Structure 1
């Protein structure tokens, strides 16, 4: 039980709770106008403070953290028959300090050697609460398992959506959370709900792959096979090349030498080309050189009737001799030049031959060896191709096993159904007690009892979920009766756990009774008080003063006896925290 909540800041309105009915009342002042609101008095804030004490994460969305950053909240709570005082600071929310007898607790607190502070880390505090309130000891941190915080929300509901359906506490709550949590709370084997969810995951993956293939999002089996064959051939070829790859430590030097030899050979070839062009011109010139014909000149003048004298004829002979000497000298010069060009060409050709032989040796070495950098790069590229090939093979295996896997899933579901049916019968006393409790609660409020309905598989196969939960109350189409389904369910749960020394408090916000007939509200409060006194649990609820059904209570029932705290909307200091605040919009 939670017996007291207070804070180190005196503005906080401390509150004490007792067994049975506990009412937090928000008074509407007679002088308040329509613009005043009781939404800021702190009813929901107190629920969030309770959650904070019970291990919720600190959030600016539910508490004005900046305004209360120096606050410490204190909670007096009874665990395993021991009354503890628990404190949790806003500025150090990861630590929960405790005082009281802790020897009989299943998890021992830590002690600060310097300060003597006795405390739990937040994770250990939640683990302790899970064991003490829900007997969650021994459950590993696996996927799809019941958790303390997940179960607690059925006993301390927050928000409008939390009161829509008995089996959920927030909108879009996942199917597995609903299945596992409610199965655990009702005494069913929650592990079958977990197993069913795991099978659903596997089936979903198989369906997604099949859909992707059908929609051409991923390649077909035939396309993957073709790519595998092509890539396998490339990998085999490159593996052999890599095996034959010889690394030479001076590969770079040889490569540089080969380039140098190539440049030198090219230069010599260019030189020979120039020499050959020059040789061709000289050979043409020597061929075209001829002696002068003086007789032709004399004949030409004689035919014209001009006769040279002996002196003129002598001069022509001398001129002929002079030109003959010039031609002879030029032929001698050209012959010498041609001989020199041929000699130079021969030398260059010999040099080219020598250099070519040297280059051949170097190129052969380069051809049969490789550089270390090239080998490493080659090795990396081959490794990437091998990885791609393995991925292709895995994808092919996945596609090939898809049909087989779905058959296996169906087989496992049939097996699960068999185990589920057997266990459902064996756990009959537990879920029958839950059904009886719900029937009893609804009968106390209406002329006809409601039904808590628990079904398992359909036609011998667990298709989606291991369990199917529902509740029925006559006239449940109205919003008010729909809310009372939640009331009857929650009251059944807290009654069940309180009788087995588990969680023994139930907290409902004003939303619980929105739209409910005033007579049913009065009956519900009186009934919750009676059940709480009998079974030893607390029913903590919040009301606005003008929503209390004073005229519908029985004569012996006095509401004021159960009002533990009054809050007001008139002044900020009359609110829970002693000041008004605004939270960020969600």
Structure 2
């Protein structure tokens, strides 16, 4: 992939045509006496941001187009890209409807589609979920870019569009401020390792952290721990024993003590029946209460909560954990439905039976009141009711303890999953560490090219290497070493030297992939700044040589004042074809990229 040109529907914008190899974007300060002139606002750095936008970057409110939205609302931009001599693609993207993308494939370069009405793809949604309608996917597949099965054209593009803010780290770009899993596996792929091994390890780590948090929340919500089951079983046994004792007292209770001899046989008959009916009534009431309580109980955990907590797990294991919880929920639901069906039927029968018992009780009580004026049974009856209430309370406590046992089973299931994840994580870590020690020809090539470039440009020895950090993840470094190459120096901490390390790494990667379907361009912003003339000349010679030998399109920006002078104090000259664009600070602002300040 190379950039052929970038242009706009507005004449205020300076169209830019790039050549196949070395391209310089020059900024010239014409009025050096004017202290208010701004050589850093000509558009040199703006152009790299615009190219990034045209290459389907997501909308950012910090981009100059949207920070100055009213100034650019009517602008439409076109970028033409080259695959080979017979295959080109033009991407159209407007500022106003910036998420609608048009794509045109063509066989000849330097086309002008400002007025074009027919596009191969028109108004594609930038973030379309369907791959066949996603512009990033379509462009990626057109170029058959290396790693296209894993990543779209945006994933690794940052290494080849370096702004002045992207030289702080060689391997970690400024945009990689998110989680390690979002960028480091791709870096490993880029330099010849198997990024999926690190990705798998990081995904398992994220899963473990999410599961730990979920376990913590469930323990708090369910108020149990997984080691309480024996305690709870012992409590249930004790409660059952207590209930049996109370039932024995009820069964042997004497309801027939009387203080008077008034038609004893009749009284015994009535009282016996009332006592029997009272026992039946309380038994039925108790059973109905239990049935209603059982019918009102619901599943104690919420799958939506679980899905929300486990959302990060879906990166590498979209169904594994969720399925286990869904199966648990489904099993409980089936059992609950069958139980409820049976209990609803039983409840109707019990209610009918209770109604008949109460009708008979009413009848016998009326008879008793007629036959007896006083009967010393109030104390006995009160005790009976007290025991019956105790049985109800014990049953409630038993049910609560049974619920806790169910909750403990949930906690145990989560702990088992956590233990498995930890074992999988240990295995994934070991697999990654073994792989990092295996021969890697791509990595060796990149390291060798990098060393050659740094040696030529800076006359310094340097190395790329990695170490394994305390999380067992590889950290990559680019450093200078002393003459005998046994000790790393702090020279690489200097900004201009670190910038050149970034430049050499990017070029080393492109040199390694020069025969592959990959990016064949790189844009480095402000590389001349803070360098000595000797190093600038060496750098310029290196990029000229590399761009031609490896067919790499090299674009960089510089101020005319930063162009180096040779040993004869003569300004180094560029070939006319090497100057892609000249910008300046003339008072009318027509020399700026957009012919205006903003």
State the TM bucket, normalised to the shorter chain. Answer: 0.5 to 0.7
Which structure would you say has the larger Rg?
Answer: 1
Q: Shift of residue 55 of structure 1? A: 0.9
Pick closer, same or farther for the CA change 1:34–1:173 going to 2, 3 Å.
Answer: farther
- Deviation at residue 420 of structure 1 after TM alignment: 4.8
Equivalent in 404, 428, 437 of residue 449 of structure 2: 437
Q: Conserved in 2, the CA contact under 8 Å of 1:232 and 1:389?
A: no
Matched, 1:395 2:402: no
| Matched residue SS, 2:78 | strand
Structure 1 counterpart SS, 2:159: coil
- Corresponding residue number in structure 2 for 1:34: 35
Q: Which of the residues 87, 95, 98 maps onto 2:103?
A: 98
2:472 to 464, 467, 482: 464
1:225 Cα deviation from its structure 2 partner: 6.7
Between the aligned partners of 1:22 and 1:135, the Cα distance in structure 2 is: 25
Paired with 1:231 and 1:48, the residues of 2 have a C-alpha distance of: 70
Unaligned regions of 5+ residues in structure 1, if any? 104-114, 140-145, 269-345, 353-381, 582-586
Residue 73 of structure 1 deviates from its aligned partner by 0.5
Distance 1:200 1:70, change over 3 A: same
Distance in structure 1 (CA, Å) of the matches to 2:535 and 2:593: 28
- The 2-side partners of 1:72 and 1:527 are apart by 36
Pairwise CA distance, 1:88: 1.6
Q: Is the 8 A contact 2:224 2:404 kept in 1?
A: no
Aligned to 1:482: 498
Partners in 2 of 1:573 and 1:386 — Cα distance? 82
Give, in angstroms, the shift of residue 181 of structure 1: 2.1
Task: Write the distance in 2 (CA, Å) between the matches of 1:566 and 1:194.
Answer: 44
Kindly indicate whether the alpha-carbon contact (under 8 Å) linking 2:23 and 2:554 is maintained by their aligned counterparts in 1: yes
Decide whether the 8 Å contact of 2:146 with 2:516 is kept in 1.
no
Between the aligned partners of 2:511 and 2:178, the Cα distance in structure 1 is 25
2:538 counterpart of 1:538 = no
Whether the 8 Å CA contact 1:434–1:492 is kept in 2: the answer is yes
Partner of 1:576: 593
Give matches, 1:50-449, under 5 Å.
Answer: 50-65=51-66, 66-67=69-70, 68-81=72-85, 82-101=87-106, 116-119=118-121, 121=124, 122-123=126-127, 124-131=134-141, 132=143, 134-139=145-150, 146-158=151-163, 160=165, 162-170=166-174, 172-204=177-209, 220-223=225-228, 238=290, 242=294, 246-248=346-348, 390-399=406-415, 402=418, 405-421=421-437, 424-425=438-439, 428-449=440-461
The answer as to whether partners of 1:192 and 1:416 remain within 8 angstroms in 2 is yes
**What is the TM-score with the length of structure 1 in the denominator?**
0.63
In structure 2, C-alpha distance between the alignment counterparts of 1:387 and 1:47, rounded to whole Å: 63
Is the 1:23–1:541 Cα contact (8 Å) retained in structure 2?
A: yes
Deviation digits for residues 236-287 of structure 1 (CA, Å, limit 9, x no counterpart):
x9579755564449979x99xx99x99xxx9x9xxxxxxxxxxxxxxxxxxx
C-alpha RMSD over aligned residues: 4.7
Cα–Cα, structure 1 residues 244 and 420, in superposed 2: closer, same or farther, change >3 Å? same
Contact 1:130 1:136 in 2 (8 A): no
Q: Using the TM superposition, give the Cα deviation of residue 418 of structure 1 relative to its aligned residue in structure 2, in angstroms.
A: 3.6
Once the two structures are TM-superposed, the CA of residue 63 in structure 1 deviates from its matched residue by 2.8
- SS in structure 2 opposite 1:164? coil
State the Cα distance separating 1:194 from its structure 2 match.
1.3
Number of paired residues?
444
Give the direction of change, closer, same or farther, for the CA distance of 1:412–1:30 in structure 2 (3 Å limit).
closer
Report the CA distance shift for 1:27/1:225 in structure 2 as closer, same or farther (over 3 A): farther
Q: Does 1:451 align with 2:463?
A: yes
After superposition, what is the alpha-carbon deviation per residue over 1:547-575, rounded to whole angstroms, capped at 9, x for unaligned?
A: 33244799795236322212223443332
| SS of corresponding position for 2:456 | helix
Query: Does the Cα contact within 8 Å between 1:4 and 1:15 map onto a contact in 2?
Result: yes
Distance 1:524 1:80 in 2: 28
Question: Is the 2:462–2:478 contact (alpha carbons within 8 Å) kept by the matching residues of 1?
Answer: yes
Structure 2 residue 565 is matched with structure 1 residue 558 = no
Alpha-carbon distance in structure 1 between the residues aligned to 2:552 and 2:477: 25
Counterparts of 1:579 and 1:218 in 2: how far apart (Å)?
A: 66
Matches of 1:553 and 1:471, distance apart in 2: 35
- What's the TM-score, normalizing by structure 2? 0.62
Q: Tell me if the contact between 2:201 and 2:428 (Cα under 8 Å) persists in the aligned partners.
A: no
Deviates more, 1:394-403 or 1:492-501: 394-403
Q: Residues 2-42 of structure 1, C-alpha deviation per residue, up to 9 Å, x if partnerless?
A: 11111000000111111222111222232553333233322
- After superposition, the C-alpha distances for 1:399-449 in whole angstroms (9 at most, x for unaligned) are 35655653453244334434554xx32xx3222211111111111112233
Which structure 2 residue ranges, 5 or more long, are not aligned? Answer: 109-116, 128-133, 240-286, 295-341, 374-398, 482-490
State the SS of the aligned residue for 2:136. Answer: helix
After superposition, give the CA deviation of every residue in 1:444-475 in whole Å (9 maximum; x if it has no partner): 112233212245x69xxx9522x332112253
Q: Which residue number in structure 1 is paired with residue 26 of structure 2?
A: 25
Quote the Cα distance in structure 1 between the aligned partners of 2:403 and 2:62: 47
